[in-house]
Amino acid sequence: MYKWKKQFNLETKILFQNKFFLVLPLLFAVWMGFTLYQTPYFKPDHIIVNTNDFHKLGHTMTLGIAMLIGILMIRRDIQSPTFEWIHSWPRSNGMAIITKFLAGFLYLSTFTVMMSIVYVGIASNVYGLSFQQYAAYFFHDILMYQWSYGVTLALAMFLAVTISHRIVYLIGFCAWMFGTYFIDIFIISRLNLPFLTTFHLNQYTLDTMLNNEVWGIHIFQKEIWTSRLFVASFAVMLLTVMIMLLNLKRATMHKTRSIILGMMSIVLVGLLFVPYGMYWADKFSTYQVVEADAFVPDDNYWNSGESSYQEIPIDSYDIHVLREDDDTLQVEATLTISQDGMPQGEELFFRLNPLLHLQEVSINGEKISYEREGSLITLSVMSDEIVGTDNSLHNIRFQYEGKIDMWAAPTNQQDNIFSFVNGDYVYLNGAIGWYPIPGNMPLFILNFGNDVRPYNSTFSYSYQQSLSQYAEFQLTLSNFTNNVYATIEAVDRNEREQVFYSKNTPGVTLVGGNLVEKEGEGQLSAVVNPFSKQDAYQIIEDISIATNFVENYFAIDNVLKAPVLILPNDGLGFWQYEAQYIDETYMIPAFRMYQYYRDDQSHPHSYRLMRDVIYNSLFKEFAPFKGTTFSRESYASILENGLFYLFLVDELNLTHDEFREAMYHVNTSYHFYMDDEDFYFSDSFYEGMSHEEVEEYQEGERRNKEAGRLLIETLEAGKIDKVREFLVELYENYVIPQKGMEEYYPIITPEEWEMEWNQVMADE
Amino acid sequence: MIKIHSLSKKYRDNVVLDDIHLTIENGLFGLLGPNGAGKTTLMRILATLLPASSGTVEVGDNSLTKKPDIIRKQLGYLPQYFQIYPQLTAIEFLDYVGVMKGVKKKEARVDQIHKLLQSVNLSDVANKKVKTFSGGMKQRLGIAQALMGDPSIVIIDEPTAGLDPEERVRFRNLLSRISINRIVILSTHIVADIESSCDQLAVLHKGKLKLTGDVDTLRKQAEGKVWLFETDEKTLLRLDERKIISSKRSGSNIQLKLVSDEKPAPDATSVEPSLEDGYIALIGGSHNV
């Protein structure tokens, strides 16, 4: 052992006495500290996200140092002809390699120590967090650092042992780049091979979900640890094989032993890849179940839009979900069928997630037979038998079980996890059919032959909505170990059960994880990651101001019954960039949330968020086109924008300059102030149209802009009451009657607009 | 005792060592030969750095092929060209070597280090870093490391190449001293290194063992073959230069000393051969002029 100690001392002395290497960890710490201390305006003020973003570059750079010292340590003596003589000493190659590795690892650990100091310093002093709040992420990063240093160092040493020429430096550089950015961007992301992430040297991939502060590292624990096991064995294999190779070149009595050890290490790597491989095999088999169930559209579908499907009117849901310790869900869902609108003389269809095993279906307590194909359940009774003659409501009870961990093959260079129940961490999207959805509309669609998506996401802006109609919902969750939040109101929460209820909702989505509920000053509250507490208060305040404005002038039910959900939605299979009204509350994407505030820091409020709330409150029944449609037939976009301008001037009392600046930030006025000949649509939009049609479109846009400008100028002229009167009347006369007519936007013709305008303004 | 039996080393078709048979006893053993004779290859094989293509080497009761790890514990080796960790001081380096060679006790190592540094005249720079050392100082430190751990076999390959005359003399004396109770194999192409101190020697030429024995055996190779005579420049140009031991201008003529089986000139006189004459006679002077 004394030889090991001496050799280790020599190696560390040589490394740590090198001034260049000595100063690098300090520079690294300064870089990291500077990056985290000065959060740029476009990034969240969030330690987890920002440290992760730093690691993607910072830590990857330090892997280059690992690669360099690994090669240098071997070429310094073992691979140097002028140091060949040291092999005449009774010094084993095993000892030399392992002590070099340990010394290099010790040196590289100084980067981890620096990272830890900066991390704790920034988290405690800048973000004011307690250690417990970020400990899990902190330790995760420490392990990620150490693991990747270990394998990178072993790889570098292996390259230097196998390649005696100095070209190994170039090959090492290539290995470093290949093992980080190249494999990430061009192989894992572009070729959709996410299971190769374990071969990424530090696994801080650019599109990682591990920085997701609500679920990230928690729901990936199995992947993380099976990967770590494999990576550790791979590093051990590299060390063992390089010792074997050196022993083969040198006269030694231990050749056979080192060959056996080398072979065993290769076998070990193969064996330890099995758990990781099995993990991914499970994911892919799950995906295949969903893919097989997905609707495969033809070209006609994309051209013509959605098809018609059976609709069964549901009065109410009563769902009991029991979570077992292994995350299996035992569910009983009782649906009360409404008499009105029941299809006549048809088989009855329901959809249930294909990963859930249906055990029993009964009607009014009597078991009935059914057929199941993927998600589609076909009951053996006809619709007429359900309705019966006594006009009483009928109950259909579905009993089913299964685990939900819905990984979908990555698209857009990002993981997609549609839903999961993983201990304390829950995300059950209403659209994936975790409760029976009436009718035969598909749950999933094969999106242009590429990937599976929830069916709703292809034509609905908010695919979380599961039903095409509204129903009463009673949901009881049992044995969930953490607080679960929903897009409907939580009416009771105790150790055994969590109960949710809504009188009228198109669905329910559940979330649980590293979340807390923050109460605002009024009725509103927000469910948010503990790190985003301050932002949550601001969001609640802004939503309150916007909803109050709407309630003051419009007779609509605008009360949020459930807490606002502020969630990091990246990687959850939907692409939401703005606040969305889902079921009975707003869901706000956490990452985008920061952009609301960073864009207009000079003002205490988020104009974007307020605009979204106003739009959602007044137009949620329509696709939110948000003022970007210059329709020939409707001035709806001017109405939408006009209401927001009114809010800025009337509710927030902005000055002329502030008003213009706010419009600039939110970008809604841009189109109105575009040159009359500078059209919103590009030339490709007009392809195939006749000259007359193009003219008609462009003339429509000109008139649209003109009307928009007139409205803004009138507001700026101080005629706020008149504009308000005009917009409220327009909304009540033209928008409200069109709700429920399944239009993408309300139709307000230029003539109707002008007539109302002239009428209101004439009263002046 | 080292017994080398039928030792050969080939690199593809190139035979570097060809059927070497040699026995080396305790004492200073000189391995002589011109550049490219295969001396370094033989040294590296003996130092366990290079496997032989065929043949055996036995060190005491141990086969070098089968038990190289045991033999390494008895070895001290200094190659012709070598580097030492420049970051270390002489003491640190020797301490490291001592540990690697199995000198466990620190006191024993310190004692050895001081004695060795004194014997190679490096005591004054014991705490200076190796990177500040001159070539000769590094050579002497290399010798010290070879002797660290009191090895029973010391292999030294072309050690005097970088030394100045004074250091060379000192070094020869050192070798004589250390060879008392051990085998010291000194590989060189400088005959003077061998002449003053070697008990046994062998001459390698083109991978073959040309001679084994002692200094007299080598010297006798030139007995009756060394001639001294004067000649003109024209005749000098016609002579095989490999056989010329020395040439010295004497007025308009040149006084020559050369090796030849036959009298090269009528006025040539036979002289008593030196070791170098014997070496020349063996390697290049075995033919008539």
- How long, in residues, is chain B? 289
pLDDT at A242: 95
| Residue that terminates a domain, selected from A505, A533, A562 | A505
- Looking at the structure, tell me whether residues A193 and A324 fall in a common domain: no
Sheet with B62-63: list strands edge to edge.
B14-24, B2-11, B54-59, B62-63
- How long, in residues, is chain A? 764
Q: What is the pLDDT of residues B192-227, one digit of tens each?
A: 888 877 878 899 988 988 888 888 888 888 888 888
The label of the residue with tokens 């979380």 reads: A464
The label of the residue with tokens 């046994």 reads: B200
> Which of B67, B72, B84 best probes binding to A when mutated, by most A CB atoms within 10 angstroms?
B72
Of the candidates B16, B61, B67, the residue with the CA atom closest to the CA atom of residue B42: B16
| Residue that terminates a domain, selected from A488, A505, A522 | A505
- Looking at the structure, tell me whether residues A372 and A257 fall in a common domain: no
Q: Which residues lie closer than 8 Å to B43 by C-beta, 6 or more apart? A: B31, B77, B79, B155, B157, B185, B187
Residue A443's domain is classified under what CATH number? 2.60.40.1730
- Looking at the structure, tell me whether residues A316 and A465 fall in a common domain: yes
pLDDT at A593: 57
Query: What are all long-range contacts of B175-180, with beta carbons under 8 Å and residues at least 24 apart?
Result: B175/B28, B176/B28, B177/B119, B178/B147, B178/B154, B179/B26, B179/B27, B179/B28, B179/B154, B180/B27
Is the pLDDT at B13 greater than 70? The verdict is yes
Domain membership of residue A540 (yes or no) is no
Please indicate whether, in this complex, the C-beta atoms of A88 and B47 are within 8 angstroms of each other.
Answer: yes
Fold of B2-219: Rossmann fold (3.40.50)
Average the pLDDT over B67-84 and give the result.
88
Cβ–Cβ < 8 Å for B232, B253: yes
Higher pLDDT, A60 or B163: A60
Nearest to B96 among A6, A84, A254 (CB): A6
- Looking at the structure, tell me whether residues A367 and A332 fall in a common domain: yes
pLDDT at A183: 93
Could you write out the three-class secondary structure of B163-184?
CCHHHHHHHHHHHHHHCCCCEE
Strands B153-157 and B183-188: parallel
Domain membership of residue A489 (yes or no) is yes
- Looking at the structure, tell me whether residues A285 and A360 fall in a common domain: no
Q: How does the average pLDDT of chain B come out, rounded?
A: 86
- Looking at the structure, tell me whether residues A749 and A658 fall in a common domain: yes
- Angle of helix B106-119 relative to helix B135-147, nearest 10 degrees, comes to 140
pLDDT at B233: 76
Of the candidates A453, A337, A346, A449, the residue with the CA atom closest to the CA atom of residue A398: A337
Strands A405-411 and A414-422: antiparallel
What is the rounded distance in angstroms from the CA atom of residue B1 to the CA atom of residue B50?
Answer: 20
Q: For residue B83, which residues of chain A lie inside 8 Å, CB to CB?
A: 80, 82-83
How near does any CA of chain B get to the CA of A46, in Å?
45
Nearest to B100 among A14, A83, A89 (CB): A89
pLDDT at A541: 85
- Angle of helix B90-100 relative to helix B106-119, nearest 10 degrees, comes to 130
Tell me, what amino acid is at A607?
Y
- In our burial notation (b when 16+ CB lie closer than 10 A, e otherwise), range A63-100 reads bbbbbbbbbbbbbbbbbeeebbbbbbbbbbbbbbbbbb
Q: How far is CA A728 from CA A551, A559, A650, A721, B115, in A?
A: 12, 19, 13, 10, 104
Domain membership of residue A295 (yes or no) is no
Please indicate whether, in this complex, the C-beta atoms of B100 and A7 are within 8 angstroms of each other.
Answer: yes
- Looking at the structure, tell me whether residues A263 and A387 fall in a common domain: no
Of chain B, the percentage scoring pLDDT greater than 90 comes to 24
Q: How far is CA A243 from CA A101, A158, A257, in A?
A: 12, 9, 11
Q: What is the pLDDT of residues B237-252, one digit of tens each?
A: 777 777 788 888 877 7
Q: Which residues lie closer than 8 Å to A368 by C-beta, 6 or more apart? A: A361, A362, A379, A380, A381
pLDDT at A622: 72
Of the candidates A378, A397, A377, A395, the residue with the CA atom closest to the CA atom of residue A333: A397
Domain membership of residue A687 (yes or no) is yes
Please indicate whether, in this complex, the C-beta atoms of A89 and B49 are within 8 angstroms of each other.
Answer: no
Cβ–Cβ < 8 Å for A588, A564: yes
Is the pLDDT at B57 greater than 50? The verdict is yes
Domain membership of residue A577 (yes or no) is no
What is the rounded distance in angstroms from the CA atom of residue A370 to the CA atom of residue A491?
Answer: 34
Q: How far is CA A373 from CA A406, A442, A615, B19, in A?
A: 18, 12, 40, 82
The label of the residue with tokens 């004054």 reads: B124
How near does any CA of chain A get to the CA of B14, in Å?
20
The label of the residue with tokens 């698209």 reads: A411
Helix (H, G, I), strand (E, B) or coil at A155: helix
DSSP A688-724: T--HHHHHHHHHHHHHHHHHHHHHHHHHHTT-HHHHH
Cβ–Cβ < 8 Å for A566, A593: yes
Number of domain units in chain A? 3
Please indicate whether, in this complex, the C-beta atoms of B82 and A250 are within 8 angstroms of each other.
Answer: no
Nearest to B69 among A17, A85, A253 (CB): A253
Mean per-residue pLDDT pooled into runs of 10, chain A (764 residues) = 90 92 96 87 75 93 96 91 87 93 97 96 89 92 96 97 94 96 89 89 86 87 95 97 92 89 95 95 90 83 68 91 96 88 81 95 89 92 65 84 84 71 92 91 79 69 61 95 93 92 91 87 82 76 87 79 83 68 82 56 74 82 57 76 86 82 69 67 77 81 81 86 88 80 75 85 71
Burial of A485 (0-12, 13-18, 19+ CB in 10 A): buried
- Looking at the structure, tell me whether residues A281 and A351 fall in a common domain: no
- Looking at the structure, tell me whether residues A157 and A38 fall in a common domain: yes
CA-based nearest residue in chain A for residue B83: A82
Q: Which residues lie closer than 8 Å to B105 by C-beta, 6 or more apart? A: none
Chain B contact residues (CB < 8 Å to A) = 47-49, 51, 64-70, 72-73, 75, 77-79, 81-83, 85, 87-88, 95-97, 99-102, 104, 155
Residue A432 CB neighbours (<10 A): 30
Which band of pLDDT confidence, cut at 50, 70 and 90, is reported for residue B288? very low
Which band of pLDDT confidence, cut at 50, 70 and 90, is reported for residue B171? confident
Give yes or no for A253 touching B (CB within 8 A): yes
Domain membership of residue A713 (yes or no) is yes
What is the rounded distance in angstroms from the CA atom of residue B140 to the CA atom of residue A67?
Answer: 36
What is the rounded distance in angstroms from the CA atom of residue A220 to the CA atom of residue A207?
Answer: 14
Q: What is the pLDDT of residues B181-193, one digit of tens each?
A: 889 998 888 888 8
Could you write out the three-class secondary structure of A201-252?
CCCCCCCCCCCCCCCHHHHCHHHHHHHHHHHHHHHHHHHHHHHHHHHHHCCC
- Looking at the structure, tell me whether residues A388 and A487 fall in a common domain: yes
pLDDT at B287: 40
What is the rounded distance in angstroms from the CA atom of residue B184 to the CA atom of residue B151?
Answer: 10
Please indicate whether, in this complex, the C-beta atoms of A253 and B68 are within 8 angstroms of each other.
Answer: yes
| Residue that terminates a domain, selected from A443, A476, A505 | A505
C-alpha of A42 from chain center: 18
Please indicate whether, in this complex, the C-beta atoms of A85 and B47 are within 8 angstroms of each other.
Answer: yes
pLDDT at B282: 83
What is the rounded distance in angstroms from the CA atom of residue B47 to the CA atom of residue B157?
Answer: 10
- Looking at the structure, tell me whether residues A285 and A357 fall in a common domain: no
Helix (H, G, I), strand (E, B) or coil at B266: coil
Domain membership of residue A276 (yes or no) is yes
Cβ–Cβ < 8 Å for A484, A426: yes
Please indicate whether, in this complex, the C-beta atoms of A85 and B49 are within 8 angstroms of each other.
Answer: yes
Tell me, what amino acid is at A275?
P
The pair of three-digit structure tokens given for residue A403, joined into one six-digit string: 């685990």
Range of the domain at A361: 310-505
Strands A425-428 and A357-363: unpaired
Domain membership of residue A532 (yes or no) is no
Please indicate whether, in this complex, the C-beta atoms of B82 and A88 are within 8 angstroms of each other.
Answer: no
Phi–psi pair at B75, nearest 5 degrees: -100, 145
Q: Which residues pair with B244 in a beta bridge?
A: B258
pLDDT at A259: 94
Domain boundaries, chain B: 2-219, 221-283
How near does any CA of chain B get to the CA of A253, in Å?
6
> CB-hemisphere CA count at 13 Å for B150?
9
- Looking at the structure, tell me whether residues A270 and A368 fall in a common domain: no
Q: Degrees (nearest 5) of the Cα angle A159, A165, A170?
A: 65
Nearest to A82 among B48, B77, B82 (CB): B82
Sheet strands (E) in A570-622: 580-582, 585-589
Of the candidates B175, B169, B127, the residue with the CA atom closest to the CA atom of residue B147: B175
What is the rounded distance in angstroms from the CA atom of residue A533 to the CA atom of residue A531?
Answer: 6
Q: What is the pLDDT of residues B255-287, one digit of tens each?
A: 888 888 888 778 888 888 888 888 888 887 444
Strands B200-205 and B27-32: parallel
pLDDT at A266: 96
